Amino acid sequence: MNYKINISKVESSKVDSLDFDNIPLGKTFTDHMFICDYENGAWTNPRIEPLKPIATHPAAMALHYGQAIFEGMKATVTKEGEPLLFRPAKNAERLNFSADRMGMPDFPENLFIEGLKQLVDLEKKWIPPVEGSALYLRPFMYADEPFIGMRAATSYKFIIMASPSGPFFTKRIKLYAETKYIRAAEGGTGEAKAAGNYAAAIRPTELAKAKGYDQVLWLDPHEFNYIQEVGTMNIFFKIAGKFYTPNLNGAILNGITRLSVIELLKARGFEVIERQITLEEIIEASNNGTLEEAFGTGTAVGIAMIEAIGYKDLNIHVSDENPVGQMIQDTINGIRSGAMVDEFNWMVKTEKELV
C-alpha cells in the first residue's frame, strides 16, 4: 500500500541556534515530527508537521492503563552529507512485536520506514557530523482514546520525534546486581519496549545510584541468579576467549545492537554463545582470571564498558581494558559514519532511490 505523507514545514528552522559542540542530552528537538492517527480500525492522515504539544483528554487511555510503546534508533550523516539509518526495518518489526504484546494495532512497516526517511531527510541539517554523535529518533505509539474501563483502546497516535545527540563519552560503568526488585519475568512485558517497564525500573535505579553504581544489573525473577540485562542495554561477557550473552528467553529485550554485535563478533572469528549465565559463573571467572571483558550494548550509549558488579556484599571486578569492546564501538561508529565499509549491509539511505 502506498501512503501520501503531507508535509507542512516551519517558517524558520531553529537549527541555527544549536551549538553542535554542546548539545543538551534529550532536551533538544528538531523542527518537525511525523504523526499518524489510528481511527475506526485504520491508520490515517500520515503527515510531517511542526513539532508542538498535543492536546490530550484527561481520560486518554495511555495515561491510565499504559498502552504506550516506543523505539530508539539513530540517523548519522556521511562526510558527503548523506543521511543514513541503522537497520530501520528491525525497529519497525520490533515496534509491531511490542504493539502485539500490548494489544495495540500494528503500524505498517513500509509507512514506518517512509515516514522516518522523509523526516530525517527534512531534518538532515540537525544530524551532528562528528563520529559517535547522531540524530536520535524516537518512534512511539500510545492510546489516546478517552475511556474509563479495561480494554484495548480504539484510537492511537504514532509519532516520530528527532533529537540531536553529541558523542557519548562513556566512562566505564559499575553495575548493581539487584536482588529485591525485578525488571521482567517470562510471560510478562519485558520483551516489549513498553513504557511501563521503564517506570518500574526508575526507583530501583535511583537506589542503585545512591549506593554509588551507574545502572542496575537485572537478574531473573525466581532465584536472582541468572543475568538478564542492564537498564536499556543488553550485556556481553568475554570469558577465556569466548563471548557469552543471555539468550532471549521472553524476559529480555531483543536489542538491535545486541544482534549487530553478535554478527560482528562472529565475522571477526569469535565464538558467541547465547545461553543462561549465572552470577556464580561470573564471580568464578573473575576470581580465576578468565573474565576478560564485559560490556553493555544499546542504541543510546553504543558500547558501555563494565568495570565492576556489586552483588550483595561482593564487589566483582570485571574488566580494566576492553580491546574487543573498543573494536566493536569503533567499527559500528565507522560503519555509521560511512568511514568504514558497510560489510553487513546495515545502513539504509534516506534519499529517494531512482527506479
| Interface contacts to ligand PLP, rule CB under 6 A | 72, 193, 229, 232-234, 253, 255-258, 297-299
- Closest CB to ligand PLP among residues 128, 298: 298
- Closest CB to ligand PLP among residues 38, 112: 112
The Cα–Cα gap between 277 and 19 comes to 44
In degrees, rounded to 5, the angle at the alpha carbon of residue 65 between the alpha carbons of residues 64 and 71 is 110
Residue 299 beta carbon to ligand PLP: minimum distance, rounded to whole angstroms? 3
Paired sense of beta strands 302-311 and 173-177, if any: parallel
- Closest CB to ligand PLP among residues 233, 309: 233
Grid coordinates standing for 96? Answer: 509491531
Grid coordinates standing for 353? Answer: 532511490
- Closest CB to ligand PLP among residues 175, 256: 256
Residue 229 beta carbon to ligand PLP: minimum distance, rounded to whole angstroms? 5
Grid coordinates standing for 171? Answer: 566512562
Cβ(197)–Cβ(189) below 8 Å: yes
- Closest CB to ligand PLP among residues 232, 245: 232
Residue 333 beta carbon to ligand PLP: minimum distance, rounded to whole angstroms? 14
In degrees, rounded to 5, the angle at the alpha carbon of residue 291 between the alpha carbons of residues 285 and 294 is 130
Residue 258 beta carbon to ligand PLP: minimum distance, rounded to whole angstroms? 6
The Cα–Cα gap between 93 and 86 comes to 14
Residue 88 beta carbon to ligand PLP: minimum distance, rounded to whole angstroms? 11
Residue 24 beta carbon to ligand PLP: minimum distance, rounded to whole angstroms? 21
Cβ(164)–Cβ(18) below 8 Å: yes
- Closest CB to ligand PLP among residues 74, 117: 74
Q: For residue 283, how far is the Cα from the chain centroid?
A: 29
Q: Which residues pair with 139 in a beta bridge?
A: 160
The Cα–Cα gap between 248 and 108 comes to 25
The Cα–Cα gap between 136 and 293 comes to 28
Residue 188 beta carbon to ligand PLP: minimum distance, rounded to whole angstroms? 12
- Closest CB to ligand PLP among residues 32, 193: 193
Cβ(50)–Cβ(10) below 8 Å: yes
3-class DSSP assignment, residue 248:
coil
The Cα–Cα gap between 67 and 101 comes to 10
Residue 72 beta carbon to ligand PLP: minimum distance, rounded to whole angstroms? 5
- What stretches of 108-255 show up as alpha helix (H) in DSSP? 109-122, 195-210
Residue 2 beta carbon to ligand PLP: minimum distance, rounded to whole angstroms? 28
Closest residue by Cα to residue 164 from 336, 49, 329, 27: 27
- Closest CB to ligand PLP among residues 256, 285: 256
- Closest CB to ligand PLP among residues 57, 266: 266
